[in-house]
């Protein structure tokens, strides 16, 4: 993928790679992504992960690459699927870490669910606020809008050393009974 691999030039110190900045891109396209990662030595696997996400028929809302990590990313997606019973709407959090991908799907509206019965806030954007890496565990903090006009702070963890399935579907954070 052009633009995603970067090797330091002789005039650029090797330490520049270790002092990389956090990258956050809203509603990205390939040009935005190439521009944002300029100067980062993004791994080939991460570049392929981005390529696959941007080529799919899903709406990529936000890409978050934490500082000092060129092989980790958190991506928020919005997907809809027309099914027999109606439209299924999901928000998805895709986490890439060192060659593996894990996905958490948040059901906004199920196939048979009446959309008008759901809180309006469940259709507003969830926002990643922080991505932390501790060995094989990636933690993601995110905010969810609430009806009071404030945002609730939530977090989820992905353990890449475990045998848990790569995809898990959970209720939307606003619809969970206890978090």
- Show me where the domains of the chain are located: 15-117
- Residue 15: which pLDDT band, with cuts at 50, 70 and 90? very low
* Reported pTM: 0.75
Contact indicator for 50, 32 with CB cutoff of 8 Å: no
CA distance 141 to 125: 14
CA distance 62 to 25: 6
* CA 173 distance to own-chain centroid: 15
Q: If we measure between CA atoms, which residue out of 107, 169, 95 comes closest to residue 139?
A: 95
Per-residue pLDDT tens over the stretch 21-71: 788 888 888 888 888 888 888 899 999 998 888 887 667 778 888 888 889
Q: Which tokens is 58 given? A: 């899903």
- Residue 5: which pLDDT band, with cuts at 50, 70 and 90? very low
Q: Which tokens is 175 given? A: 């619809």
CA distance 68 to 66: 7
Per-residue pLDDT tens over the stretch 108-167: 655 555 556 555 544 556 778 889 999 999 999 988 776 666 677 888 999 999 988 899
Strand partners for 127? 143
Q: Which tokens is 78 given? A: 């919005």
The order of strands in the sheet holding 23-26 is: 23-26, 59-65, 72-83, 86-97, 100-109, 167-171
Residue 3 predicted with pLDDT over 50: no
């Amino acid at each position: 993928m052009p633009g995603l691999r970067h090797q330091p030039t002789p005039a650029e110190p090797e330490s520049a790679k270790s002092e990389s900045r956090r990258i956050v891109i809203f509603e990205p396209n390939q040009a935005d992504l190439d521009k944002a990662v300029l100067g980062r030595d993004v791994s080939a696997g991460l570049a392929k992960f981005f390529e696959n996400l941007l080529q799919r028929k899903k709406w990529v809302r936000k890409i978050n690459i934490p500082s000092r990590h060129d092989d980790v990313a958190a991506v928020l997606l919005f997907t809809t699927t027309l099914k027999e019973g109606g439209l299924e709407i999901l928000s998805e959090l895709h986490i890439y870490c060192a060659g593996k991908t894990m996905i958490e799907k948040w059901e906004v509206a199920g196939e048979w669910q009446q959309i008008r019965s759901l809180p309006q806030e469940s259709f507003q954007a969830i926002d990643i606020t922080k991505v932390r890496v501790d060995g094989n565990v990636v933690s993601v903090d995110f905010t969810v809008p609430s009806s009071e006009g404030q945002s609730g702070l939530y977090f989820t963890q992905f353990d890449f050393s475990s045998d848990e399935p790569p995809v898990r579907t959970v209720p939307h954070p606003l619809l969970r009974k206890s978090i």
